[in-house]
Structure 1
Amino acid sequence: MALNTQPNLARPDDFYEALIDMHRDLDDAQSQSANAQLILLLANHIGDHATLIEAMQHAREGAADVSVRGAQAHSLAA
């Protein structure tokens, strides 16, 4: 199964709102636990190991990109 990285949510704004609502009134530990449980549920739903590995690689690269952009913004502000 190939990882679909193109926009594919029928109602992206509604999904984002529901995701934010999922975290409402949770402390940091509960929020992290909810994220982990959601990830594991979706991983189980996908089921394909190669697709999950590819998704993790994309997520890690995206997180690294955020760190680089943050460092660049900080150096520009200094």
Structure 2
Amino acid sequence: MFTTDPQLKRPDDVYQALIDAQQDLSAEDAERFRARLILLLASQVGDDDAVLAAIEAATTSLKEHAHD
């Protein structure tokens, strides 16, 4: 079952690492970094259905908050 509940033990550390990794990158390189990270994490998950559910959840969330 797909969950959107937080699962990370150190979310603030992960968030900061994501920010730091992109800090000195151009917009284009930051986009490439995010794409590579997504593919690496999808491979780590190793479950096509879970990855597809995550894509759907992200798409739905973006649409719901498009005007925030």
State TM-score, norm by structure 2.
0.91
Equivalent position amino acid for 2:48 in 1: H
Q: Which has the larger radius of gyration?
A: 1
Give the whole-Å Cα distance in 1 for the aligned partners of 2:34 and 2:19: 11
TM-score of the two chains, using structure 1 as the length reference: 0.81
Matched, 1:47 2:46: yes
Count of residue correspondences: 68
Q: Distance in 2 between matches of 1:68 and 1:54?
A: 23
Aligned counterparts, 1:33-44, within 5 A? 33-44=32-43
Moved over 6 A (4+): none
* Cross-structure match for 1:75: none
Q: Say what the alpha-carbon RMSD is for the aligned residues.
A: 1.0
Unaligned runs of 5+ in 1: 70-78
Q: 1:4 Cα deviation (Å)?
A: 2.8
Structure 2 unmatched ranges of 5 or more: none
Name whichever structure is richer in helix by fraction: 1
In structure 2, what is the equivalent of residue 32 of structure 1?
31
- Distance in 1, matches of 2:67 and 2:60, equals 11
Q: CA deviation at 1:5?
A: 1.5
